Structure formats: structure tokens, C-alpha cells
Structure 1
Amino acid sequence: MTYKQPVSVLVVIHTPECKVLLIERRDFANAWQSVTGSREGDEALAETARREVCEETGIDAALYRLDDWQRVNEYEIYEVWRHRYAPGVTTNAEHVFSLEVPAELPVTLSPGEHGRYRWVDWSQAAEMVFSPSNADAIRMLPVRTGH
């Protein structure tokens, strides 16, 4: 079995007006989130972010401005997902990025991973996501974008 690396990205996709794209997990009812995913091999974290955005939403991140926040969140991996990591791995290092798109783009979800998507105002998005680090990143969005 190939284990996931405990190094991941969180990508907050947003419009210039701070409308945020949220996607709902299939394996965790009512669990809304931004794009997330683990690094594969030795790929650069920006490449991980672009790959995950494409895999989870169908959006080509190379067409838009991807911003590395130079912020890393360390958190305990939820018990339900620990089997995906090597034995004894309990924490993950999550690197935060944002991707500004010009408007609320149509999304093509990864059918095995996500069931629905919504574009919502940043303040509502911060309340909807299940992950505290995701909520924190969304709350920082207006300051980071100057809105």
C-alpha cells in the first residue's frame, strides 16, 4: 500500500469580490471545504496545489493567479482518515494557497470525492467549512486580497 504524505495543500479558490468556492465531501456528510490534497512524490507544493485544483474542480489553475501564503498549519489527522498514512503518523503539515479566478466558474467535481459545490460569500464560507484551519484561511481572505 502506498501511504499519503503528511504534507498537504489547502487552496482557497475565490473571485475578486471574495466569493469562495466550497466543495462537499462524499465520505463525510455536510462537510464543506476548500480544495485540499496531499503532495505526491517530491512535487513542488505549488504543483500539488495546481494538480489538486484540477482534479477536484476541473479548473486549470495555470490560467489564474495562485498565491502561496507562506503559511503552514500543523494539525492532528482526523482518526477516520489515519489509515491513509503510514503507521504512527498522526499530524499533517498543511500549506495554504489561494487562487483568484475572475468570476464564479463552472466546476467539474471529482465524482468519487465530492458531491456538490457552491460559491458563497467569504463570511458564510468560513462558517460552513468543517476544518478550523480552512475557516481561518477564509477569514483572512479579505485582508489578503484588499477587500
Structure 2
Amino acid sequence: MRAPFQVLVFPYRRTEHGDEVLICRRADINVWQGVSGGGEDHESPSQAAIRELKEETGLSGKHWQQLDAMCMLPRVMFKDHQTWQTHPFVIPEYALMVEVTSDPVLSHEHSEYQWCNEAQATALLKFDSNRIAVWEIFQRLNV
């Protein structure tokens, strides 16, 4: 059963040309975003993030960090919301960052991926919550 929260995960890598985040194009709605998904059963946000990253990209990483950036999403944004009996009208989306060292192998949920610097990611990402999370990631990486 879906837990009443969403996770947003941005894998990042450090290269000789600078830091980059991974963004993926959703196959169903044709927008660029971070890896995202809902919690299941009694998962914590960090457990859900680890699972979603593995399911959608085949990646695992190190140096997981929950970001300060988060937002509230209306339940109608999710296809199965009519079946939710006990979920609130809005659910929190927790953003996390994780360092990875390889390229993803995408699930059917995504049609393509791109490694981006901050400006590239900001230009491509559709949702404000994603852009704010990317801004925070680059602030943290450059401290």
C-alpha cells in the first residue's frame, strides 16, 4: 500500500569538469525531473528513496543526504488517488541527494537521462520543487 509521502532523488557525480546531477525524462508525461516515487507500506522516506533509485535507474550510491527542500503536492497529481481511503489531501515530497559513480540503466518509467550542471538542469526541469532541490544540491556541494 502506498504511504502518504513522495520522494524526489537527485543522484550526483563529481567530475573533472564539475559536479553534475542526473535528471530523467518521464515516459508517461514527457517532462524532465529527478527520480521520484511514493513510499510503500511502512517505509521511511530514506528507505523509499533507496528503493526508488534502484528500481528506476539500477543505481545505488553513497553519502545520502535529505535536503531542506521539500514541498506539498495535491493528491490529484497521482493516478491512483481515487483509491486512497486514508491519505490526506496533500502529501509531502522529501528531496534527497546521493553520490553515484556509474550511469543509470533506466526502467520503463523513463525514456532518457542526462547528466547536467546546475544551469542545464534548471533549464530542463519542469517542476519548481525539482529546481529548488537542484539549487540546494549545488549549494551544498560547493561549501
- Could you state the TM-score of these two structures normalised by the residue count of structure 1? 0.82
* Residue type of the alignment partner of 2:23: L
Q: Look up the SS of the partner of 2:29 in the other structure.
A: coil
Q: CA deviation at 1:71?
A: 4.2
In the alignment, which residue of structure 2 is the partner of 1:47? 47
Q: CA deviation at 1:70?
A: 4.6
Paired residues of 1:18 and 1:141 also in contact (CA < 8 A): no
| Partners of 1:26 and 1:83 in 2: CA distance | 15
Distance 1:66 1:84, change over 3 A: same
| Partners of 2:78 and 2:139 in 1: CA distance | 34
Q: CA deviation at 1:145?
A: 1.3
Tell me which stretches of 4 or more aligned residues in structure 1 moved more than 3 Å.
87-90
Q: Look up the SS of the partner of 1:133 in the other structure.
A: helix
My pick for the range that moved more, 130-139 or 81-90, is 81-90
| Partners of 1:39 and 1:108 in 2: CA distance | 21
| Partners of 1:131 and 1:93 in 2: CA distance | 15
Q: Which has the higher strand share?
A: 2
In the alignment, which residue of structure 1 is the partner of 2:90? 91
Q: How does 1:107-146 map to 2 (within 5 A)?
A: 107-111=104-108, 113-146=109-142
Q: Look up the SS of the partner of 2:49 in the other structure.
A: helix
How big is each residue's C-alpha offset from its partner over 1:12-57, in whole Å with a ceiling of 9 and x where there is no partner?
A: 111123211111111112x011111111011122111110000011
| Partners of 2:132 and 2:32 in 1: CA distance | 14
In the alignment, which residue of structure 1 is the partner of 2:36? 36
How big is each residue's C-alpha offset from its partner over 1:96-141, in whole Å with a ceiling of 9 and x where there is no partner?
A: 1101224xx2211112x11111111121102211111011111122
- Could you state the TM-score of these two structures normalised by the residue count of structure 2? 0.84
Q: Which runs of 5+ in 1 are unaligned?
A: none
Identity %: 26
- Matched pairs, number: 137
Q: How does 1:14-33 map to 2 (within 5 A)?
A: 14-16=12-14, 17-29=18-30, 31-33=31-33
| Partners of 2:69 and 2:142 in 1: CA distance | 18
| Partners of 1:60 and 1:82 in 2: CA distance | 26
Q: How does 1:65-84 map to 2 (within 5 A)?
A: 65-77=63-75, 79=76, 81-84=77-80
| Partners of 1:45 and 1:133 in 2: CA distance | 16
